[in-house]
A and B are shown apart, each in its own frame.
Chain A
Amino acid sequence: MNSDNSLISDAKNTWCPGCGNFAIQHAVKSVIEELEKEGVQREEFVLVSGIGCHAKIVDYFNLNSFYSLHGRTIPVATGIKMANPDLKVICFAGDGDLYAEGLDHLIHAAKRNIDITVICHNNRVYGLTTGQYTPTSPYGFRGKSTPDGIHEPPLNIIEMLLGSGASFVARAYSKKIPHLRRIIREAIMHPGFAHIDVLQICATFFNMTRFYDEQTYESSEANVSQFDVACRTGQQWDYSDQGPIPLGIFYKTFRTPLPEKREEREIDRLKAVRTILQNYS
């Protein structure tokens, strides 16, 4: 039994001052505390991270965690959930991590509706590798690998997720913490694949605080189960440098999630092996 009851570990925090990751950590902590009060056991949570600034979050939580590889949160989380459907599995991914290196997994996770929660720390830059463009950086973004600016438009990840069959799609902003908290909670409680694209401030390499403060607004969630409404909300902002930027749950629907409940069975393995041999004789 761990004597220290804190949700936060004693690992040294190395995020830059002003980094939006603190807010995400804080929001997640509050949600877990809330859920604990409602009877969820702390050890039922498993946090999975990729590699990047965002990923350090798993070291900072005193919770079960799986610090995986760059781009690979989703297959790991999928395996954990399939092994034990009772665990609450949350991915902490970066935009380079999830939308570049591991994009294929995201599409397939949405398609198969695996019952995990994905939080993308979308700072629209590679933070840990000191400032290169990502799939959601705006057109013309000048980074260390693209000094003349990029000539490709950003990927509208919301549209992509809707097109891939995600059953829960949301956007939040690291400076609107109560809103972020509510969305994280709903995502965790959603039965099926839940994705939150969190616009996260990178204080060092891409500080969009003023733009986001001015342009983000909480959009209506009255028609949250209507796919065409979700698509229109998703299309309102294309990750360019022009707002306005809707926040909130854009889409939420019920579709039978993976893994389906496995019935508990007592099987004598040796007997099963013998039967198979018999069938092949």
Chain B
Amino acid sequence: MTDFSVLIGGKAGDGISQAGQIIGSVFASMGYHVYQYTDYPSLIRGGHNFCIIRAADHPVTAFRSHVDVILAFDQQTVNFHSHRLVPDGEIIFDSNRAKAKGIGVSLASYVDRFQGLPIMGNTAMIGALSGYLGISWEVIEPVLTKKMTKKTEDNLKIARAAFDEILKKTSIDKTGENSRPFMSGNEWIGLGLLAGGLDAYVAYPMTPSSGVLHFLADVAKETDIIVYHPESEIAVILMAMGLAYAGKKTAIGTSGGGFCLMTEGLSFAGQAEIPVVIIVSQRTGPSTGLPTYTGQSDLLFVRHAGQGEFPRWIAAPATPSEAFRLSAMAVKIAWKFQIPAFILSDKSFSEGIFTGDINPGIPDNPVEVSPSFPYRRYEDAADGISPILAPPVHGEVIKVNSYTHDFRGITTEDPGMTVTMAMKRKKKNDALKDLIDNPENVCISGKKDATICIVCWGSVRGQVTEAANDLDVRIVSPLILEPFPIITFQNAMKGVTKLLVVEESANGQIDKILKEHGFFPDELLLRCDGRPSTVEELQEKIRRHI
């Protein structure tokens, strides 16, 4: 079984993340399953950055405590991470900037030999690693050519020289499987939105959600979508309201602080019944918190945000294929039910880079009811869902309203109409509940008949699943958190006598939802330092509680 990890570390500005991605792409192109974790402080230059790239012959969405190779651009990397090295592992270090037991490579000498730029030291490092691992040049060259679009020739020369001059230690071969797409969680989400029929994306930059904005801006032309970055998150959600009113399937994205600013617009979407998909990627909170680190402490906030009562849909993907499917579904759900639909992500998932196996299909369009005329925007129905039309419609008037309104969208304070509209929203929620309560939306893994059960959600599932691999536990992880797929969840929990929750928060969030539904966790295994757990760390923790 192949399961191989490389840690690459240096200062912000050394190009660590890019080098990590190229290494990951090399493995992905050989048909391996790859997961990359990037750890960086909220600085552009200077602080310590590192990535762990894990390649395996089975899907991986977590990283381990130990690594097989460390690539050190500086002394800090050696000092901070040497303890992670397996006994027969190797440190390959920049001999100009660090001292270590291992293989010293003078990165600058390769750069100077070909008059390259200082940043190309990381190309030399990639070359050295590939040579050391015995990966064939035929594998490296096309990846470098594709990823290094600037000064490609110089980069190739530098990589080749370092590749040739290092001692080959092992020989990592292709798997025989096809090259796999290697994309960040944010990119998988963006791709899913596109498959779901997205027309427009509006966002204000905020780590760790910005990757969706950057990705969609990058592909906007080839997919013919509108991508816009306006003056604030308040503008973001209201622009989305305008776009959706005029018929464009729109998504927006942010992190906690930006989402705080969106809450008035969110409640508006609930009242005016305007569809919108909202990506919220959590960081460590509260407030600005740790911008580049992870957390799961916004679940209850997202679930309850906005004044008044209105239906919403919240999904939390844990794998690339789930991100793709749920993001596509979010667009469909938002438009069918005319509600806000959330993709709740976090830094680990959003900025983690994963290979994924998907056969991109486009989900079916939900059946739309055709309107009757004269058109009334808020026509009531058995399921509360009104036919939705966008202006201009000849001879018809389309009115939406943030005040309590009548069927036509005109302001009213009539108590009867107020109740009718409240019930209309409630009926939509009931219809939504029925639709999502199915096995597709609750993932069961581990030993499916074990009586000890771990409940977790979102990115943490990857770590939990691996950590519990050799243990006698069942893992139940709802993909949709609002409305809660209660019947499916109850079925998944049959026979459980001990319930643990694993979550990245200080007080516990999902346990409150479980309690609402009559499930009382015995232990909360929480973590709130912003760092994802390694498989071994979590395993150790779980062992102590079973």
Q: Are both chains from one complex?
A: yes
CA distance A65 to B265 in the complex (A): 17
Asked if A281 CB lies within 8 Å of chain B CBs, one says yes
Identify which of B179, B195, B246, B411 contacts A11 (C-beta below 8 A).
B411
Q: Which residue of chain A has the shortest Cβ distance to B360 in the bound complex?
A: A273
Are A69 and B268 in contact, CB atoms less than 8 angstroms apart?
Answer: yes
Chain B's closest residue to A50 (CB) is B402
Q: How far is the CA of A55 from the CA of B390 in the complex (A)?
A: 21
The residues of B that contact A274 with a CB separation of less than 8 Å are 360
Interface string of B220-264 (1 = CB under 8 A from A): 001110101011101110111111111110100000000000001
For residue B194, CB closer than 8 A to chain A, the reply is yes
- A67 near B232: Cβ-Cβ < 8 Å: no
A residues near B401, Cβ cutoff 8 Å:
59, 65, 67
A257, CB-defined interface residue at 8 Å: no
Asked whether any CB of chain B lies closer than 8 Å to the CB of A190, the reply is: no
Asked whether, in the complex, the Cβ of A83 is within 8 Å of the Cβ of B374, the reply is no
Chain A 55-66: CB-based contact to B (< 8 A → 1; otherwise 0): 010110011111
| Cβ contact within 8 Å between B392 and A79 | no
Which residue among B178, B180, B246 has the maximum number of chain A CB atoms within 10 Å of its CB?
Answer: B246
Report how far A81 CA is from B230 CA in the complex, Å.
Answer: 14
List residues of chain A with CB within 8 A of the CB of B194. Answer: 269, 272-273, 276
A120 to B29, CA, bound (A): 59
On whether the beta carbons of A67 and B411 are closer than 8 Å, the reply is: yes
Residue B393 interfacial (CB < 8 Å)? yes
- A44 CB within 8 Å of chain B: yes
For residue B476, CB closer than 8 A to chain A, the reply is: no
Q: Determine if A256 is an interface residue (Cβ-Cβ < 8 Å).
A: no
Given A2-B374, A69-B264, A87-B391: A277 touches B397 (CB 8 Å cut-off): no
Chain A interface residue count, Cβ-Cβ cutoff 8 angstroms: 53
Interface residues of A in 101-123 (CB under 8 A from B): 104-105, 108
On chain B, the residues within 8 Å of A74 by CB distance are 235
> Does B503 sit within 8 A of A, measured CB to CB?
no
Which of A1, A51, A84, A277 is B374 in contact with, Cβ under 8 Å? A1
Contacts A11-B410, A43-B392, A87-B391; is A104 near B231 (CB within 8 Å)?
yes
| A46-B397 in contact given A72-B238, A82-B243, A108-B230 (Cβ < 8 Å) | no
Of the stretches B55-63, B151-159, B181-189, B378-386, the one at the interface is B181-189
| Distance between A240 CB and nearest chain B CB, rounded to angstroms | 30
B264 smallest CB distance to A (angstroms): 6
CA distance A269 to B331 in the complex (A): 14
Q: CA separation between A276 and B374, bound complex, in Å?
A: 43
Q: Which residues of B contact A67 (CB under 8 A)?
A: 399-403, 405, 409, 411
Q: Is the CB of B179 within 8 A of A66?
A: no
Closest A-chain residue to B182, C-beta based? A280
Instruction: Report whether A1 and B362 are in contact in the complex, using a CB–CB cutoff of 8 Å.
Output: no
Q: Is residue B398 contacting chain A, with contact meaning CB distance below 8 A?
A: yes
Number of B interface residues, CB 8 Å? 67
Q: Does B318 contact A (CB under 8 A)?
A: no
Q: Known interface pairs A3-B374, A274-B360, A280-B187. Does A80 touch B395 (Cβ–Cβ under 8 Å)?
A: no
* Per-position 1/0 for A247-279, Cβ under 8 A of B: 000000000000000100101011011111110
Q: How far is the CA of A81 from the CA of B239 in the complex (A)?
A: 10
A-B pairs with beta carbons under 8 A, tally: 184
Interface residues of A in 28-75 (CB under 8 A from B): 41, 43-44, 46, 48, 51, 56, 58-59, 62-69, 72, 74-75
Does B396 sit within 8 A of A, measured CB to CB? yes
Measured between alpha carbons, how far is A277 from B202 in the docked complex, in Å? 22
In the bound complex, how far is the Cα of B410 from the Cα of A62, in angstroms?
Answer: 10
A58-B399, A269-B195, A273-B191 in contact; A77/B242 too (CB < 8 A)?
Answer: yes
A200 lies within 8 A of chain B by Cβ: no
**Chain A CB within 10 A, most for which of B234, B238, B247, B398:** B238
Judged by a CB distance under 8 angstroms, whether B67 is at the interface is no
Of the residues B392, B396, B397, B402, contact of A44 by C-beta under 8 Å:
B392
Closest B residue to A270 using CB positions? B362
User: Complex: how many Å from CA A276 to CA B226?
Assistant: 17
- Name the distance in Å between A40's Cβ and chain B's nearest Cβ: 11
B394 at the interface (CB under 8 A from A): yes
Contact B246 A80 (CB under 8 A): yes
A155 within 8 A of B: no
Q: Is B432 an interface residue (CB 8 A)?
A: no
What is the bound-complex CA distance between A77 and B182, given in angstroms? 39
Assuming the A-B contacts A80-B245, A80-B246, are A64 and B231 also in contact, with contact meaning beta carbons closer than 8 angstroms in the complex? Answer: no
Tell me whether A68 and B394 are in contact (CB under 8 A): no
B238, A69: Cβ atoms under 8 Å?
Answer: yes
Closest to A4 in B: B374
A-B contact pairs, 10 of them (CB 8 A): A67-B399, A75-B234, A76-B239, A79-B238, A79-B244, A80-B243, A87-B392, A272-B222, A276-B222, A281-B179
Q: Which 7 A-B pairs have the closest CB atoms?
A: A79-B242, A83-B246, A75-B238, A79-B239, A43-B392, A1-B395, A80-B242
Q: Which residues of B contact A (CB under 8 A)?
A: 28-29, 178-183, 187, 191, 194-195, 197, 199-200, 202, 219, 222-224, 226, 228, 230-232, 234-236, 238-248, 250, 264-265, 268, 358, 360-362, 373-374, 390-403, 405, 409-411
Chain A residues with CB under 8 Å of chain B are 1-3, 9, 11, 41, 43-44, 46, 48, 51, 56, 58-59, 62-69, 72, 74-84, 86-87, 104-105, 108, 262, 265, 267, 269-270, 272-278, 280-281
Given A64-B391, A75-B239, A83-B390, 17 further pairs, Cβ under 8 A: A41-B392, A43-B393, A44-B391, A58-B399, A66-B400, A67-B411, A69-B402, A76-B239, A81-B242, A84-B246, A84-B390, A87-B246, A87-B391, A104-B235, A105-B235, A262-B226, A281-B178
